[in-house]
Structure 1
Amino acid sequence: MQSLFSTEGLHPSTGFKLWRELLGERLVPIEVERLDADGPFRGKLDIAEVGPLHISRLTQSALRCETTPTAARRHDRAGMIVVLFKVAGMSTSVQDGREAVQRPGDMVVLDHRPSVLTTHEDSQALFLELPRERLERVLGSTRLYTGLSLSADLASTQLTTCFIHELIRVRRQLTPDAAERMAAIGVDLIVASLAERMAQNVPRPIHGSVVVQRAKAFVEANLQDTALDPPHLAAAVGVSLRRLQELFHERGQHISDWIWERRLAVAATRLADPACVHLPIGTLAYGCGFISQSHFARRFKHHHGMSPREYRYAAILNGREYRAAVASHRVP
């Protein structure tokens, strides 16, 4: 990772002041209090980018960081959330009535709302900022899982943590297209880990909602699997097919329809993405779980009213027209 700032060599009082300002700029305006005012202060910030993912690694002495209601209202990141991956030391987070301890290997999601994060001596963590909509589309409101610690004992947490660390390590070897795809996989793993954690010890009245959220998270992470169907999905989330069908029906949905809608939505996004323009339509179709290009073309045209090729051409043309309008100052 690229080193952006370090207090090494700075006077303790100056180093802490600069570190406090840096946290306010990189995260949100926060109140920062030292917990070991008599000892030397250490702070180091490293950063990395993998496709759209902006990753920060913070190494710091013991601090109490509070996002106040006033600060939460002032900042401009209301559409984003933060995922913390604990690397070393211990920290405690408090948000939305939940207090949790994070140890090495654990994860926790924090929203840009009032919260308190306390780090202890020699603490280190990775921070990823993600669009709120990406999680809420599958898992529901962030208030359901902010401040909920995802233990390193969970297999899904282990897998997600290892993937993110490896992604950082090999990021310079990835092409821009590959980096974007791998970043998307990392986000899918985070969603799947949260869904598994939410299913633990939930009150019975909301158990059905959690099962559906886990099912949708599994679909998002496995769209490319042509074998993904309702029986496969029910087995993956640990309920009977009949029970899963009932839960989807209660929400006015059918399992098969949901799977195909998500495949078609992802395919449409990739067709319109300039980074995927070099991909043959057949390759793109297989990557979204369709068994053949003709099968994909039929379903896509029925859903969107035009063939995949026509859809891609229209998206490219619209993009060029928009860029031309911007260049000629017709678009503010």
Structure 2
Amino acid sequence: MGDSRDADESGALLEQVNRALENATPLRIQGANSKAFLGRMVGGEILDTRAHRGIVRYDPTELVITARCGTPLTELFAVLDASQQMLACEPPAFADDATVGGMIASGLSGPRRPWSGAVRDFVLGTRIITGHGKHLRFGGEVMKNVAGYDLSRLMTGSYGSLGVITEVSLKVLPKPRMCLSISLEMSSEQALLRLAEWGQQPLPISAACHDGEQLHLRLEGGQGSVTGAHERLGGALLDAGYWADLNEHRLGFFDEGQPLWRLSLPHNTPLLSLPGEQWLDWGGAQRWLKSDADAALIRKTVREVGGHATCYSHGLVDDPFQPLPPALLHYHRHLKRQLDPQGIFNPGRLYAEL
């Protein structure tokens, strides 16, 4: 499905990158800019990817779809939905015009992530404009990755700091035959205990969130397994739209007010003693915290249990992402130098040192 229009659009992006390299001009890569609130502020010339859009290849029998970076997620999901398929990691959009490139660059996953995998687990291959001014294809069925790097997956969650993603191939899955959501009255402590117990059993749970008062579960799979699990667990029926509202931060908890933090924690971590209101997501592995507490206290508490904290309130802290330990920062710097030697791609978006 490639055509001259595709070449023109990708050529325009490549030309802008090469011009920036010649002039040592930083580039601020963006699509719909729906996730601009995440990360540090970036200066420089805007490189807008939205004109480079469209589904390149899709064969439902192969369970693989390839799309250009500027393709709206709504378009991608509509194509998959028509074949009763889905991108199982449920990436949040945060805007109606959010793009495929932004989905990969941010690497954010939705409620199903602990049971299905993260965005990077569904990336099979990419086309990338590198900091050497080359437009290359990696992964998938075309080119073996070089220098020991899985570049396609490295681009996931890089926030545009390693190169310009122009195209991505993704693994997709059939939609479950049956989906049912329930709510159970219990405390947060009880919820964590129950989830640890249920995690050792063949229950068809695909989402679990505790809002401080109730544990909300989504059950997915064959009719027999879902019906049997509901009969065993009980609980009141919950509107299926709850999970999309949670994923897109449309629930009242996410209304503007106190600063919002995302805490990523090891499985089965007990409740953390932090001021503010906490919601348990991903069966407790992801916690949403609304708190006026000092960033240093939040990060110290989370680090002590082996987790990390990301600030979702733009401009609140100088380093929205958890600062890297020296050894890890060394490897990040080395990777940045290898892929973006002049440092023109989203400089400082992830960390000031990059």
Compute the TM-score of the two structures, normalised by the length of structure 2. Answer: 0.25
Structure number with bigger Rg: 1
Identify which of structures 1 and 2 has the higher relative contact order when contacts are C-alpha pairs closer than 8 Å and 6+ apart: 2
More helix by share: 1
